[in-house]
Amino acid sequence: MMGEKSEELSEFSKEVHALSSGAKPVATWLGVESLGEARKACGGHGFLHMSRLNTLRDDNDPSQTFEGENFMILQQTSNILLGKVSSIGTINTPMSTMSFLNSNPSKFSSWSSNPVDDALSAYRYLTYHLLQTTSSEAKKLKGAGKNSFEVRNEIQVHRAVNLSVAYTEHTMIDWVQKFVEEVEDVTVKTVLQKVLNLFSLFLLERHLATLYITGYASGGKFGEDLREKLRHAVAELKPESMALVDSIAPDDFILHSALGASDGR
């Protein structure tokens, strides 16, 4: 855009493209799912038209296909990541979101006192191994005579899609943790850390099967511990729930719902 051409700018644009192509699907899937959960949490009242929760969910539903159909644009992320396989050991991107791919992350050994650190360690292992298996599968298909279009289609399910999502979620968690560390208000910082603890464990639990398949952990204890930590994170955040709702709630005029009006009626 500035008329500048350089290798660094080219890498920067690739990294931005990889992140935006991953973040849009992850964010829109979470948004629609969250509105569905909000509606169900209100029981029969949530089903009422006057709750507006159904309307909000329906209004957000198309976000999963407009501005890039989610599964389609996740290919953009995985294509960029797969292009880095030959550079493992020397990957150096401007925002450093791929630098952890330079070394083979270690398997699970023990939990630390920080749920976010534990989640990031698992995500690094997951992303690295999904990159390796996706790349290996692509080479195998090419060797079998498949063309590029066929290869890209056939490596998506269980491989390239999961790779793109894992890379994106790792970046989201990592960047939010760095942001929280810079918050000066101790009270706000404590609550935000609780939110991130829950969010990171919530996302990681969805990858539990793949973590076992890729060999990150063995036996049932890792999965049981993860779910126990997730339940604990929910309990820790529960006392802050109303304050969090109040801090982000849109005005009644905007929400226009019969539920949860600010006057308490």
Q: Is 242 exposed, middle or buried (0-12, 13-18, 19+ CB in 10 A)?
A: exposed
- The candidate with the shortest Cα–Cα distance to 131, out of 86, 73, 185, 67, is 86
Enumerate long-range contacts of 223-231, CB under 8 Å, 24 or more apart. Answer: 225/111, 226/201, 229/111, 229/115, 229/201, 230/198, 230/201, 230/202, 230/205
- The candidate with the shortest Cα–Cα distance to 209, out of 140, 126, 133, is 126
Whether the CB-CB separation of 101 and 84 falls below 8 Å is answered with yes
- Cβ neighbours of residue 18 closer than 8 Å, sequence gap 6 or more: 76, 77, 80, 81, 97, 167
- Cα gap 152→75, rounded to integer Å: 8
DSSP 110: -
Domains of the chain: 71-249 (1.20.140.10)
Question: pTM, whole model, 2 decimals?
Answer: 0.93
- Cα gap 111→142, rounded to integer Å: 40
pLDDT score at 9:
86
- Cα gap 134→166, rounded to integer Å: 13
What one-letter code names the amino acid at 5?
A: K
Whether the CB-CB separation of 194 and 233 falls below 8 Å is answered with yes
Chain centre distance of CA 1: 29
pLDDT score at 252:
86
Hey, what are 124's tokens? 């690094």
pLDDT score at 1:
57
Whether the CB-CB separation of 265 and 252 falls below 8 Å is answered with no
pLDDT score at 227:
97
Instruction: Give the residue numbers marked as catalytic.
Output: 67
Local mean pLDDT, 10-residue blocks, the chain (265 residues): 77 94 97 93 91 92 92 95 94 93 94 96 97 96 95 94 98 98 97 98 97 95 97 97 88 85 72
